[in-house]
Amino acid sequence: MMKLSLTARLFAAVFSTAMAVALAMGVLTHVNLNRDFLGYLNEQAVNRLDLAQVSVTAGYRENGGSWDFLREKPELWGRLLRPRVPEGQAPAVKSSPAELTGATRRFALLDVDRQRIAGFSQPSPDAVERPIVVDGLTVGWLVLTPFESVSSGAEKRFADAQLRSAWAVGGGAVLLAAGVAFWASRRLLRPVRRVAEASHRLAAGDYGTRVPVTASKDEIAQLSHDFNHLALTLQRNEAMRREFMADVSHELRTPLGVMHGELEALEDGVRRLDAQALRSLQGEVATLHKLVDDLHELSLADVGALSYRKTDLDLRTLIDGTAGAFRERISGSGLALQLELPDQPLPAFGDERRLRQLFSNLLENSCRYTEAGGALRISARREGPHAVIDVQDSAPGVLPEQLPRLFERFFRAEASRSRRSGGAGLGLSICQRIVQAHEGRIEARPSPLGGLWLRVELPSHG
Ligand SMILES: Nc1ncnc2c1ncn2[C@@H]1O[C@H](COP(=O)(O)OP(=O)(O)OP(=O)(O)O)[C@@H](O)[C@H]1O
Ligand SMILES: [Mg+2]
């Protein structure tokens, strides 16, 4: 459908262009030829008139110095016009164009009073005149009425030739247009059509659709390339959405399952409803609560609705405070804390609660995922327009290929897959959102201490 209309339009465009050019050329040729041809005819006629002037003058002399001979025998007029050829010379004028076009038929002879004696019956006012002078006296006028149009015979032949060439040009234009349209539909439109069909499939939800990218570096290759990129992005997003849903339901199901089991045991009397059972239930509820809170926060961050109340604050104080709050936890995990803070304040413009949440998440991870007897080093300093905060710990670390994935939702490194020590895998995604909301950067790399190194860069002013 689409191909037909585009091809047809192309055909029409090429065809009409070719026809218009041919027509314009035809008209111009016709006009030029007619004008030049007429000019040529009249030029020849004037040359012929000069010859006739000589012979008519001679004729007048030979016939007793009067026009009476002509008035009596008008049929002598034709002979009189014949050019006088000197003896022994070929009659060159016999075959001259003026002879062939019948120029002499447009000659007329007028007497001194401008009365017609012989020849063309309606001499026009713009006639070319030659006086017939005998013995210094003008005895009459030879006049030529110029051609105003090419004689009908010639005109007809010319028109026929024009028509023939018009047919030839028209046929050529059809062939050319068909050729161009065919070529265009093969070379240009087919790839476009392919992309159009693929878009259709994509719109119907077939995200695996790809179009072949041609080797040429033209717009169509670019279009195909971009289309494939679009399809890949959609496919990835779709996969991520499914994974996310599966992860969410899995994460919710686990604590719910545990609670369900415990409640059943209580109901059946297998277990007694004592303080320990309540604590266990509380723990599961807390896990669920945190999970739902984190998910809520992430979804708010995704739609850009997470509210930030930014104020001028000092990162040095904030980090010091957060580390202080974790002192118990850190020593409880058997870690040695090294805190390296600058002497000067580290001013920043941010949401204190969120930034606290960011560093708490990092410290919480270090406590959770570092073997006892290890070390935790927190350092903060100013680097140009940025405040750089490093949180490093000792073994275990994260496999290098997993480093970029740490910030994905629900991602947990293989070593800490056990539910006992690990969380849901949302903490670092939240950290990343918080850093991004402060126009900063967060990066994970292996630490020289043997564990993980998280570097946070936040804009610092003042
Ligand atoms: N300091 C660390 N040392 C080693 N591995 C770490 C460290 N911090 C994070 N990880 C790994 O990165 C994973 C993702 O961390 P993240 O904080 O996003 O999720 P989580 O701690 O598992 O769960 P949540 O923070 O949602 O309770 C962790 O499961 C862990 O495997
Ligand atoms: Mg965490």
Please list every protein residue whose CB sits less than 6 Å from any atom of ligand 1: 294, 361, 365-366, 369-370, 393, 396-398, 406, 411-413, 416, 422-428, 451-452
- Which pLDDT tens digit goes with each residue over 119-128? 888 777 788 8
pLDDT reported for residue 176: 86
Q: How many CB atoms lie within 10 A of CB 175?
A: 12
The per-residue pLDDT for 98 is 64
Q: For ligand 1, what atom is nearest to the CA of residue 402?
A: 12
Measured at the CA of 292, the angle between CA 291 and CA 293, to 5 degrees, comes to 90
Weakest mean pLDDT among 48-57, 151-160, 173-182, 426-435: 151-160
Mode of pairing for the β-strands spanning 107-111 and 137-144: antiparallel
Mean pLDDT of 60-87: 83
Q: By percentage, how much of the chain surpasses pLDDT 90?
A: 43
pLDDT band with cut points at 50, 70 and 90 for residue 285: very high
- CB distance 81 to 55 below 8 Å: yes
pLDDT in tens, 188-215: 788 888 999 999 999 999 999 999 987 8
Residue 444 has pLDDT above 60, yes or no: yes
> Are the C-beta atoms of 127 and 146 separated by less than 8 Å?
yes
Is residue 153 very low, low, confident or very high in pLDDT (cuts 50, 70, 90)? low
pTM: 0.59
Instruction: Walk me through the domains of the chain, giving residue ranges and CATH numbers.
Output: 1-206 (no CATH), 219-302 (1.10.287.130), 311-459 (3.30.565.10)
Work out the widest C-alpha separation in the chain, in whole angstroms. 165
The preferred substitution site among 369, 399, 403 for testing ligand 1, maximizing ligand atoms within 8 Å of CB, is 369
Is the CB of residue 177 less than 8 Å from the CB of residue 11?
yes
CA distance 439 to 146: 92
C-alpha dihedral over 297, 298, 302, 307, to 10 degrees?
Answer: 30
Tell me what the pLDDT averaged over the chain comes to: 86
Range with lowest mean pLDDT among 164-168, 359-363, 364-368, 420-424: 420-424
User: Using CA positions, which residue lies closest to atom 6 of ligand 1?
Assistant: 369
Residue-wise pLDDT for 307-316, tens only, equals: 889 999 999 9
Is the peptide bond prior to 385 cis by the omega test (within 30 degrees of 0)?
Answer: no
pLDDT of residue 243: 86
Given a cut of 60, whether residue 138 has pLDDT beyond it is: yes
pLDDT in tens, 16-36: 888 888 888 878 877 877 778
Measured from the alpha carbon of residue 376, the closest ligand is: 1
Q: Which atom of ligand 1 is nearest to the CA of 291?
A: 26
Ligand 1 atom nearest residue 407's Cα: 18
Q: In what order do the strands lie in the sheet with 375-383?
A: 336-340, 375-383, 386-394, 450-459, 441-446
Task: Please classify residue 28 by burial: count the beta carbons closer than 10 Å to its beta carbon, then call 0-12 exposed, 13-18 middle and 19+ buried.
Answer: exposed
Predicted local confidence at residue 63, as pLDDT: 86
Write the pLDDT tens digit of every residue in 227-250: 999 999 999 999 988 988 888 888
Residue 453 three-state SS? strand
Residue pointed to by tokens 């290890």: 374
- Report yes or no: 380 and 388 within 8 Å, Cβ to Cβ: yes
Quickly list DSSP for 140-163.
EEEEE---SS--HHHHHHHHHHHH
Q: How far is the CA of 277 from the centre of ligand 1 (A)?
A: 28
Residue 167 has pLDDT above 70, yes or no: yes
Distance CA 230, CA 237 (A): 11
Which residues neighbour 223 within 8 Å (Cβ) at sequence distance 6 or greater? 191, 192, 195
Closest-CA residue to 187 (of 222, 225, 220, 211): 220
Q: Residue 140: phi, psi to the nearest 5? A: 175, 180
Between 61-75, 218-232, 384-398, the lowest mean confidence (pLDDT) is in 61-75
Q: What are phi and psi of 381, to 5 degrees?
A: -160, 170
Q: How confident is the model over 268-291, as a mean pLDDT?
A: 91
pLDDT(343) > 60: yes
Q: Six-digit token pair at 44?
A: 């020849």
Instruction: Specify the residue with its C-alpha closest to ligand 1, atom 25.
Output: 427
Per residue in 365-412, pLDDT (tens digit) is: 999 999 999 999 999 999 999 999 999 999 899 999 999 999 998 888
The distance in angstroms from the start CA to the end CA of the chain is: 65
- In this model, does residue 3 exceed pLDDT 60? no
Which atom, in ligand 1's list, is nearest to the CA of 415?
A: 31
The number of CA neighbours under 13 Å toward the Cβ of 349 is: 5
- Whether pLDDT at 2 is above 70: no
Q: How far is the CA of 406 from the centre of ligand 2 (A)?
A: 10
pLDDT at 87 over 80: no
* Lookup: tokens for 34: 């007619």
Task: Quote the pLDDT of residue 62.
Answer: 87
Q: Express the helix, strand and coil content of the chain in percent, nearest 5 each.
A: 60, 15, 25
Angle, CA of 445, 451 and 453, to the nearest 5°: 35
- Residue appearing with tokens 């030659």: 130
Ligand 1 center to 417 CA (angstroms): 10
Look at residue 197 and give its three-state secondary structure. Answer: helix
For β-strands 107-111 and 116-119, DSSP reports them as antiparallel
- In one letter, which amino acid is 391? V
- 301 or 197, higher pLDDT: 197
Residue with tokens 């006296």: 137
